[in-house]
Amino acid sequence: MSSLSGKFGLIVGVANKRSIAWAIAQAVSAAGARVALTFQGERLEENVRELAEGLTDPLVLPLDVTDDGQIARVFEEIERTFGGLDFLVHGAAFAPRDELTNPFSQTSREGFKTALDISAYSLIALSRGALPLMERRGGGSILTLTYLGSDRVFPNYNVMGVAKAALESTVRYLAADLGPKNIRVNAISAGPIKTLAAAGVSGFSNILQIYRDRAPLRRNVDTAEVADAAMFLLSDAGRAVTAEVLMVDGGYHATGM
Ligand SMILES: NC(=O)c1ccc[n+]([C@@H]2O[C@H](COP(=O)([O-])OP(=O)(O)OC[C@H]3O[C@@H](n4cnc5c(N)ncnc54)[C@H](O)[C@@H]3O)[C@@H](O)[C@H]2O)c1
């Protein structure tokens, strides 16, 4: 029996085949899980529907995480179709382009609110929606994706770093809140990977090169490697792990120079 057979998951954050969330969707699906994928806006619907054709009996639903009505409808549909939920993968993040190019001191109030709302608050809103469905299954695993820019300064990462710091703290508070219900909450802090979201950070190729030069493994990571680590946290193999930020970055985080 595969490690996730008979399990139901919700995966938020697939934009295209390069998305980290897509690699996770493929891995969990290959391990036997049935998943709901969401797409943000009509612009991405076709992409996500086409990708979903490669999965077994997926649900594909619209979701903008700033819209409470859409969040509620996603969980209603999951309840109707799956009857419960075993895991949630949160891979949504956004900051307005100006905030990722202007000097940090120029961060606007609106840009700050948007980045924190979409990239951090949404984990709380989605976890709250998942809670009754996970309780019905005797527990669950919630996973989000973060970056070392939460803790260290990377050029142009700016307000996204602040949002990731809030996200990682949110992981710990949710883990403490939901742990007694056997719901685990963790993050993977991935090394830089060229995706749609990453393309928004100016000078991103330079960050990739510095990791290649300095990470202990002397290379970048890919989405399949992040997905393998996600499998550990989402499956029973990670059943005693919660409130954790797992670094999947070739060891870069440990370097001093
Ligand atoms: N690519 C990297 O270098 C890297 C490194 C570490 C962490 N991460 C994190 O991984 C996660 C996934 O990003 P990715 O790199 O796969 O890029 P991506 O662009 O493929 O995924 C980002 C997703 O966020 C979604 N999103 C943005 N605003 C949304 C909204 N309002 N409602 C719903 N969804 C919304 C987009 O639709 C997209 O699917 C993000 O949290 C990102 O910060 C990425």
pLDDT at 147 over 60: yes
DSSP state of 192: P
Both tokens of residue 168? 């990682």
Give percent of the chain above pLDDT 70: 100
Q: Based on the residue annotation, tell me whether 157 is a catalytic residue of this protein.
A: yes
pLDDT at 212 over 80: yes
Both tokens of residue 236? 């029973």
CB-based contact 14:196 (threshold 8 Å): no
Q: Whose CA is nearest to atom 42 of ligand 1?
A: 93
Distance 224 CA to ligand 1 centre (A): 15
Please state, in angstroms and rounded to a whole number, the distance separating the CA atoms of residues 183 and 130: 10
**Band of pLDDT at residue 122, cut at 50, 70 and 90:** very high
Both tokens of residue 100? 């990722």
Mutate to test the pocket of ligand 1, among 24, 48, 71, 145 (most ligand atoms within 8 A of CB): 145
Q: Which residues line ligand 1 (CB under 6 A)?
A: 13-15, 18-21, 40, 44, 63-66, 91-94, 118, 145-147, 190, 192-193, 195-198
Mutate to test the pocket of ligand 1, among 47, 94, 246 (most ligand atoms within 8 A of CB): 94
DSSP state of 194: -
Could you read off the pLDDT of 78-116 as tens digits, one per residue? Answer: 999 999 999 999 999 999 999 999 999 999 999 999 999
Of 159, 126, 103, which Cα lies nearest the Cα of 21?
A: 126
Task: Tell me the three state secondary structure of residue 207.
Answer: helix
Mean residue pLDDT of the chain comes to 97
Give backbone dihedrals phi and psi of 60, rounded to 5 degrees, phi first. Answer: -125, 120
Q: Based on the residue annotation, tell me whether 252 is a catalytic residue of this protein.
A: no
What average pLDDT does the segment 239-244 reach? 98
pLDDT at 45 over 60: yes
> CA-based angle 23:193:40, to the nearest 5?
60
Query: Measured from the CA of 144, which atom of ligand 1 is nearest?
Result: 41
Predicted structure pTM score: 0.98
> Residue 200: its pLDDT value, please?
85
**Band of pLDDT at residue 1, cut at 50, 70 and 90:** low
Catalytic one among 147, 173, 211, 252? Answer: 147
Q: Whose CA is nearest to atom 33 of ligand 1?
A: 64
Mutate to test the pocket of ligand 1, among 19, 89, 148, 204 (most ligand atoms within 8 A of CB): 19
> Residue 132: its pLDDT value, please?
98
Give percent of the chain above pLDDT 90: 96
Please state, in angstroms and rounded to a whole number, the distance separating the CA atoms of residues 210 and 2: 38
Q: Residue 119's CB: how many other CB atoms inside 10 A?
A: 26
Both tokens of residue 119? 């990239």
CB-based contact 51:39 (threshold 8 Å): no
Could you read off the pLDDT of 48-83 as tens digits, one per residue? Answer: 999 999 999 999 999 999 999 999 999 999 999 999
Distance 94 CA to ligand 1 centre (A): 7
